[in-house]
Amino acid sequence: MPALRNRSLTGSILMLALAFLAGCTTIPKPAVGARFIEREIVSDGVRHRYQVFVPAAHARESGKLPVILFLHGSGERGSDNNIQLDAGLGPYVRQHMEDFPALVVFPQVEENGEWMGANVDMALAALEAATREFNGDPQRAYLTGLSMGGYGTWETALKAPNRFAALVPICGAILAPGGGRALYVTEVANAPDPYAALASRLKHVPIWIFHGAKDDVVLPDDDRKTFAALKAVGADVQYTEFPDENHNSWDATYRHDAMWKWLFAQRKD
10 falls within a domain: no
CB 43 within 8 A of CB 74: no
Position 16 pLDDT exceeds 60? no
Q: What tens digit of pLDDT does each residue of 101-124 get?
A: 999 999 999 998 999 999 999 999
Q: Is residue 51 part of a domain?
A: yes
Quick check: is 240 in a domain?
yes
* Statement: residue 29 has pLDDT above 90: no
Indicate whether 27 belongs to any domain.
Answer: no
pLDDT of residue 50: 97
- Band the pLDDT of 15: cuts 50, 70, 90: low
Give the C-alpha separation, 122 to 65, whole Å: 21
Report residue 80: phi and psi, to 5°: -80, -15
In this structure, of 23-32, 102-111, 131-140, 170-179, the range with the lowest mean pLDDT score is 23-32
Helix (H, G, I), strand (E, B) or coil at 252: helix
Q: Are 119 and 156 in contact (CB under 8 A)?
A: no
- Which among 33, 52, 155 has a CA at the least distance from the CA of 102? 52
More confident residue, 154 or 56: 154
Asked if residue 13 has pLDDT above 70, the reply is no
Task: Say if 192 falls within a structural domain.
Answer: yes
Tally the domains of the chain. Answer: 1
Q: What pLDDT is stored for residue 33 in this prediction?
A: 78
Range of the domain at 130: 33-264
DSSP secondary structure, 88-127, as one string? THHHHHHHTTTT--SEEEE--PPTT--SSTHHHHHHHHHH
> Is the residue at 112 inside a domain?
yes
Determine the Cα–Cα distance for residues 82 and 76; give it in Å rounded to an integer. 9
What pLDDT, in 10s, does the model give residues 181-238? 667 899 998 999 999 999 999 999 999 999 999 999 999 999 999 999 999 999 999 9
pLDDT on residue 162: 96
CATH number at residue 144: 3.40.50.1820
CA distance 106 to 108: 7
Task: Give the pLDDT band of residue 58 (cuts 50, 70, 90).
Answer: low
- Evaluate whether residue 19 is within a structural domain: no
The answer to whether position 18 is within a domain reads: no
